[in-house]
């Protein structure tokens, strides 16, 4: 855990991150409360803070824990997501180069929306913040377009022409006050746009921060405010106040409090589920006496990509992948036993890894 000025560039303390996410929202929406729920850190909330916070969260996974009980490895490594809590979004902040740079560097945004207290208006708050992101992107796109126009007047260049054409599309979309995350592009165009790290292009998790009275019915908030159905977005809810306090308690006490409030799972588990769903992430596992580890892929990624995620050499010298569903392996008791029972399947480079599979890479390296 580190504190850092919001206006300095924050760098990841760990190189092995599965994802980076930025927490944004209006003043007092509950951003720091959410950060505490995620990172179990002890921070003061409610001071109109000008500090940014950076924390790495180990993604809880019962499947990995059970595999680790079987293999008793020296090391168990959960997936890791870095969260960045920045001061409230405002026109001023969005003009700060370092504030922008921090947000541009994340893979997804979590927008904390006030759904507690008097007259909550999540749809309005979401529209306001989305508009700020859109205007910031528009400024950025226009600046680049002007430069491209100057350069293209001097010399023709196919690459620059393509960039010019894609940015024109993006600008028209932004001018109609729509976020880039719902602009349809082909894969070459998408790659171009991604290079600019536009804020409104990032997948977005809307996190409704509800009052205590909504604790037993958090799943219903999404319907109440009708926030579903937007492309590349997902909706989750927390009770910021109580859940950030519960996050500071020892595990046994936490369970008791959660039950008392009618909370069915921890805020961390709920938010991780929504984040994985938003990103289209699946988990695969690698197991040995040395290390049991959760790896992250997006749905549709292959055995070769899993190998590369474990070790670049494994991908280079890839022969075959042996795959087995985590609970089949657990019941068999060992990889050898699973192999004997025909539970291990031999797959090639192009095989699409499924959520919950243990992947054993055979390589010639
Ligand atoms: N009643 C109620 N108050 C809340 C809830 N969540 C947050 N608050 C209030 O809002 C204050 C701010 O919460 P924070 O998590 O610090 O909000 P923030 O978005 O980080 O605020 P800034 O960083 O100042 O923009 C808290 O101290 C609470 O007083 C909630 O669920 N219920
Ligand atoms: Mg804060």
Q: Within a domain: residue 266?
A: no
Q: Give the pLDDT band (50/70/90) at residue 365.
A: confident
Q: What is the CATH number of the domain that holds 146?
A: 1.10.150.300
Cβ–Cβ under 8 Å, residues 313 and 262: no
Determine, yes or no, domain membership for 310. Answer: yes
Report which ligand 1 atom has the smallest distance to the Cα of 35. Answer: 15
> Any idea what the CATH number is for the domain that residue 342 is in?
3.10.20.30
| Domain boundary pick from 169, 201, 233 | 201
Burial track 242-252 (b if 16+ CB lie within 10 A, e otherwise):
bbbbbbeeeee
pLDDT digits (tens, 9 = 90+) for 145-168: 999 999 999 999 999 999 999 999
Q: Which of 155, 178, 201 is the last residue of a domain?
A: 201
Is 77 close to ligand 1, i.e. is its CB under 6 Å away? no
Residue 160, domain member (yes or no): yes
Strand partners, 362: 320
Q: Per residue in 291-332, pLDDT tens?
A: 999 999 999 999 999 999 988 888 999 999 999 999 999 999
pLDDT tens sequence across 80-101: 999 999 988 988 888 888 888 8
User: How far apart (Å, rounded) are the C-alpha atoms in residues 49 and 67?
Assistant: 42
pLDDT, position 81: 95
User: What is the distance of C-alpha 113 from the center of its chain?
Assistant: 17
Q: How many domains does the chain have?
A: 2
* 221 phi and psi angles, rounded to 5 deg: -65, -35
78 belongs to a structural domain: no
Per residue in 29-85, pLDDT (tens digit) is: 999 999 999 998 776 665 555 678 899 999 999 999 999 999 999 999 999 999 999
pTM value? 0.91
pLDDT digits (tens, 9 = 90+) for 166-191: 999 999 999 999 999 999 999 999 99
Question: In this structure, is residue 209 part of a structural domain?
Answer: no
Ligand 2 mean position, distance from CA 53 (Å): 9
Residue length, the chain? 365
The per-residue pLDDT for 50 is: 66
Contact 137, 180 (CB under 8 A): yes
Band (15; pLDDT cuts 50, 70, 90): low
The CA 46 to ligand 1 mean position distance, Å, reads: 5
Domain that holds residue 138: 127-201
Q: Which atom of ligand 1 is nearest to the CA of 33?
A: 15
Domain for residue 183, yes or no?
yes
In a domain, 337, yes or no: yes
Domain presence at residue 328? yes
Q: Which of 341, 334, 57, 349 is nearest to 358 (CA)?
A: 334
Domain C-terminal end among 201, 216, 251: 201
Give me the pLDDT at residue 283, please.
97
């Amino acid at each position: 855990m580190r504190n850092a000025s919001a206006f300095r560039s924050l760098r990841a303390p760990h190189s092995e991150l599965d994802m980076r996410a930025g927490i944004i929202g209006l003043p007092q929406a509950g951003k720091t409360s959410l950060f505490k729920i995620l990172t179990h850190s002890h921070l003061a909330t409610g001071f109109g803070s000008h500090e940014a916070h950076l924390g790495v969260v180990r993604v809880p996974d019962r499947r990995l824990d059970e595999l680790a009980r079987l293999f008793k490895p020296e090391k168990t490594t959960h997936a890791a997501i870095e969260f960045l809590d920045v001061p409230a979004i405002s026109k001023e902040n969005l003009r700060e180069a370092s504030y922008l740079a921090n947000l541009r560097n994340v893979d997804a945004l979590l927008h904390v929306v006030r759904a507690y207290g008097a007259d909550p208006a999540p749809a309005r708050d979401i529209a306001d913040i989305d508009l700020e992101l859109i205007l910031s992107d528009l400024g950025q796109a226009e600046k680049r377009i002007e430069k491209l126009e100057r350069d293209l007047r001097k010399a023709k260049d196919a690459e620059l022409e393509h960039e010019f054409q894609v940015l024109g599309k993006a600008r028209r979309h932004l001018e109609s006050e729509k976020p880039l995350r719902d602009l349809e592009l082909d894969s070459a165009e998408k790659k171009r746009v991604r290079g600019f790290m536009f804020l409104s292009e990032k997948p977005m998790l809307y996190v409704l921060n509800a009052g205590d009275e909504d604790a037993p019915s958090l799943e219903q908030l999404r319907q109440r405010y009708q926030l579903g159905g937007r492309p590349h977005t997902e909706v989750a809810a927390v009770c910021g106040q109580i859940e950030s306090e519960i996050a500071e308690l020892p595990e046994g006490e936490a369970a008791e409090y959660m039950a008392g409030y009618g909370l069915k799972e921890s805020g961390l588990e709920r938010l991780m589920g929504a984040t994985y769903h938003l990103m289209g992430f699946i988990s695969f596992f690698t197991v040995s006496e040395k290390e049991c580890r959760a790896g992250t892929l997006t749905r549709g990624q292959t055995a070769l990509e899993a190998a590369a995620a474990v070790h670049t050499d494994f991908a280079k010298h890839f022969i075959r992948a042996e795959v087995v569903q985590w609970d089949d392996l657990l019941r068999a008791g060992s990889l050898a036993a699973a192999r004997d029972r025909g539970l291990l399947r031999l797959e090639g480079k192009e095989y699409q890894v499924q959520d919950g599979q243990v992947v054993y890479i055979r390589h010639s390296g």
